[in-house]
Structure 1
Amino acid sequence: MKNLSMLVFALVIMLSACTGGSQKSTETQKETKAMFTGTKGEVKIMTLDPGHFHAALVQKSMYEQVDPVVYVFAPDGEDVVDHLKRIEGFNTRAENPTSWEEKVYKGDDFFEKMISEKPGNVMMTAGNNAKKTDYIYKTIDAGINVLADKPMVITPDEFPMLEKAFQLADEKGVLLYDIMTERHEITTMLQRELSQLPEVFGKLLVGSEEEPAITKESVHHFFKYVSGKALKRPAWFFDTAQQGEGIVDVNTHLVDLIQWEAFPEVILSKSDVEIVSARRWTTDLTPEMFKKVTYLDEYPEYLKKDVDGDVLKVYSNGEINFKLKGIYAKASVIWNFQAPEGAADTHYSIMRGEKCNLVIEQGEKEGYKPKLYIESTAGDVKEFAGSLYNAVEGLTANYPGIALEKISDKKWTLTIPDKYSVGHEAHFGQVTEKYLQYLIDGKLPEWEVPNMIVKYYTTTEGMKAAMKD
């Protein structure tokens, strides 16, 4: 009996130890994930190799939660010089100047330096994409949160590494998130809102390859103005081995919007995706065009593989036709050299429903500003109109000031107050604010990570299909 009692006592001690250890582990994990509370200056940013102007746009505004001291780690060269000039421009502007203090390390070992010193708790990256996936993985492995500009991966071969990075982020209790600015564009937001109202939209049609249920098309320009100044692009931007082809770059936004609008907050998986067809083609630049946007007199050696005669051929254009949960979709990106006078980058989108089409256009007749049209396909137009007016009235609770304008018996447009059209540059601040809240929450919405994985699976598989043609 005494031996039995001793055995029971020993088992109790062992169970207590195991339980205590498990509880401690759980508490440590919670502590890691809840390391942010919203306290002033608790988020300390490290900017890695800021070769793209998007890196600076994250700092166009100040944030109470973010320390004004930002640590920059980059190779020496024009990219980091141009980045610091942009930040200085924000700090010295006449209206609402920022007060960032950049602490800069320049050297070939910039990444290793960042990981070893770790002066911040959030790494922000927007630049050369050649090693971005590897940098993201290793930064996550070091227990650092990551806010990354798109794309986070540019080749099918590197996609598995990105998947592992998300898995590792969960294990480490850190957040990996990409900057999807287009979710904050007002006509896209309202297109999504209206598509969720059965009395107005019905259900999203299945569509076909020739007439997809949802289409997103984007036209961009190599030469354009940012913050009122002509944009200078680094030469590597035109090397698809470093920037990525258009089919995996800008198309990241378009595939994201297709998922976000067609299946809002639905957890997607790779098995939901079927690539139907894909293609890619070049934008051709003369030496004069190249010089205008890079200020360089000749092509660097790494671009000469893409030069035919004296014309630089850049695979910046791409299209993916795919099915998502059986719904046909198309994402297409086009890069021209320069927009016509008064024009800018443009976006076109259509969602085809049982009762109407929701169309975003941004052409000459819209003054190159996005406009949302509602085109009735319903049998009873009078009944549809009543439902539409009631629906828009209901949306004014969240979007005060919006109103319907009738164009014809079957077509309307939404008039949207200017206050909602804040512009592409301001969307970076909106995304950053959302990410800061996620840090406080200690998690992303449950659908975000699986859907980011599906998004990059779609773009990289689309590229793989296009390369076969």
Structure 2
Amino acid sequence: MDRQQKLITLLAFACLGACQGGADNMQQKDIRLITVAPGHFHAALVQKSMYPEVDSVVHVYAPEGPELKAHLALIDQYNTRADNPTRWNEVVYQGEDYLEKMLEERKGNVVVLAGNNQRKIDYISRSVDAGLNVLADKPMAINKEGFSKLQQAFATAKEKDVLLYDIMTERYEINTMLQRSLSQVPEFFGGLVEGSPDQPAITKESVHHFFKEVSGKPLVRPAWFYDTKQQGEGLVDVTTHLIDLVQWESFPEEIIDYKQDIELLSARRWSTSLTPAQFERSTGQAEFPSFLSSSLGDDGNLAVYANGEINYRLKGIHAKVSVIWNFEAPQGTGDTHYSIMRGKYANLIIRQGAEEQYKPRLYVESTGERDDDAFENALKKAVDQLDGTYKGLAYEKVDDGRYLINIDPSLVTTHEEHFAEVTEKYLGFLQSGTMPEWEVPNMIAKYYLTTKALEEAETVSAP
């Protein structure tokens, strides 16, 4: 018996003790989590924190294998850390009939999904059909067929009075939050310009890396992560976050009707090449599995269509999102994000390059519509107005008409911490029994655009 099998056994016995001696506590915890096939580390990040309204016993249903072991190892790491350890009791069912077993036993009322994206939409549909709430990692749909199933899942969720929600962590990044807030001060920003395909009103670009560290340890990815039929292409994966932010920032709390408000202008895709050595370093597997054979080039390298760009109009405003995946970031760097919102009086720009030491920073630049003194005066008033929400907010001039927004360190949280913030938001929805009326139609709009863009890009030649 290896260490991980011992962990599974110990956790199961720990749960038995807790359940036998803690019935009253169980009754006080109305929300009980079920984790299904946790093939992505995001499933564990939901449990990096404890939540007062969530029972500490979590039922896990998954096939036996390294993905389950990696998930439980992360939970164990959170449970045994020196600083503010968690107290999760994982009760594990291993078997190929894991989904049927979960639906039969119904040991909880919230299904957490983060793993194989090809199967995810079916997990969502089956869970919602069974009257279970679902908190799902992005993307919930990776193709046109999946989008149709997702639409039906949202309709069923409404009928069953359950909540289906995706994990949009980037709404909780402080620079993005401030970019949104400053754009909503009309006396300073002046409203979004209409823009054009060559100069969109809002642009979101991100660069990601296949090999990285999570919770201080190298991330081992499953081989299927590199199969776009299972993981999804870049156009339908990370762009989910970017499109969500475009909607969330440009038209906050407004309903997006995908049939009327979205016009796809163009979409393109291209691949990242991985050598056999890079694949082995990332997955631990010495050879490419057979399901990747169709993606191997004559040079023996793997072509992964992880990159993409979408140009579109949203309620008449031109927008562009793009994503690039490289294998590994240069030493001292990491994933990066660039974003610009163009207003009548100001441009709000997030940069994360060498000048920013690869940490996101928010800049404000004058468009020249006002003289320098009038622009700085308007900026001061906007910052003072936001100080009630964001304590310690300040700005400094870095050039004529260009300013850096200084953010108090207490407002900065990490990507991993954002998962707890999303989960807490969702738990609030569960306790109130409802979500804001714009959330569901805007999720539908988001996945319509990603899957439509993929369909479009597949018909044109990649560069």
Per the TM superposition, whether the score is higher than 0.5 is yes
**AA at the equivalent of 2:253:** E
Instruction: Quote the residue 1:437 is aligned against.
Output: 428
The residue type paired with residue 410 of structure 1 is G
In 2: Cα distance, 1:305 partner to 1:93 partner: 43
Partner of 2:4: none
Partner of 1:120: 108
Residue 339 of structure 2 is aligned to residue 349 of structure 1 = yes
The alignment status of 1:259 with 2:247, answered yes or no, reads: yes
Equivalent residue for 2:348?
A: 358
Q: CA deviation at 1:156?
A: 1.1
| 2:292 alignment partner, one of 294, 300, 303 | 303
CA distance in 1, matches of 2:225, 2:409: 33
1:332 correspondence with 2:327: no
Which aligned pairs between 1:336-415 and structure 2 lie closer than 5 A? 336-377=326-367, 378-415=369-406
CA deviation map 1:256-307 (0-9, x unaligned): 0000001100011012111100000001000111111111100111111111
**Which among 197, 216, 227 is matched to residue 209 of structure 1?**
197
User: Cα distance, 1:394 vs. partner?
Assistant: 1.4
Q: Provide the C-alpha distance between the structure 1 equivalents of 2:148 and 2:314, rounded to a whole number of angstroms.
A: 20
Question: How many pairs are equivalent?
Answer: 432
Check whether the contact 1:221–1:335 (CA below 8 A) recurs between aligned residues. yes
Separation (CA, whole Å) in 2 of partners of 1:174 and 1:444: 10
Alignment partner of 1:462 out of 441, 453, 456: 453
| Distance across 2 between alignment mates of 1:130 and 1:181 | 21
Give the drift of 1:314. Answer: 0.2
Mean CA deviation greater in 372-381 or 104-113: 372-381
Pairwise CA RMSD? 1.0
Following superposition, the deviation at residue 381 of structure 1 comes to 2.4
What secondary structure does 1:308 align onto?
A: coil
3-state SS of 1:127 partner: coil
Structure 1 residues 384-408: Cα deviation after superposition (integer angstroms, max 9, x where no partner): 2111101101111111111011112
Any stretches of 5+ residues in structure 1 without a counterpart?
1-37
- After the TM superposition, list the runs of 4 or more consecutive aligned residues in structure 1 that deviate by more than 6 angstroms: none
**Match of 1:5?**
none
SS in structure 1 at match of 2:280: helix
**Of the two, which has the highest radius of gyration?**
1
- Note the alpha carbon deviations across 1:87-146, whole angstroms, 9 max, x for none: 001111111111111001111111111111100000000000111111101110100000
Deviation at 1:383, TM superposition (A): 1.2
Preserved CA contact (<8 Å) 2:192 2:343:
yes
The answer (yes or no) to whether the contact 2:47–2:75 under 8 Å persists in 1 is yes
2:142 corresponds to which residue?
A: 154
Aligned 8 A contact 2:375 2:401 in 1 = no
Normalising by the residue count of structure 2, what TM-score does the alignment of the two structures yield?
Answer: 0.92
**CA–CA separation in structure 1 for the residues paired with 2:27 and 2:420:** 18
Structure 1 position 275 matched with structure 2 position 264: yes
Deviation at 1:379, TM superposition (A): 2.9
Which amino acid in the other structure matches residue 46 of structure 2? V
Which of 211, 224, 228 is the aligned partner of 2:216? 228
Q: Is 1:67 matched with 2:58? A: no
Cross-structure match for 1:108 = 96
Check the 8 A contact 2:201/2:317 in 1, yes or no.
yes
Deviation at residue 40 of structure 1 after TM alignment: 4.2
What is the CA–CA distance in structure 2 between the aligned matches of 1:90 and 1:158, rounded to whole Å?
A: 34
Q: Secondary structure at the match of 2:60?
A: strand
User: How far apart are 1:374 and its partner, in Å?
Assistant: 0.3
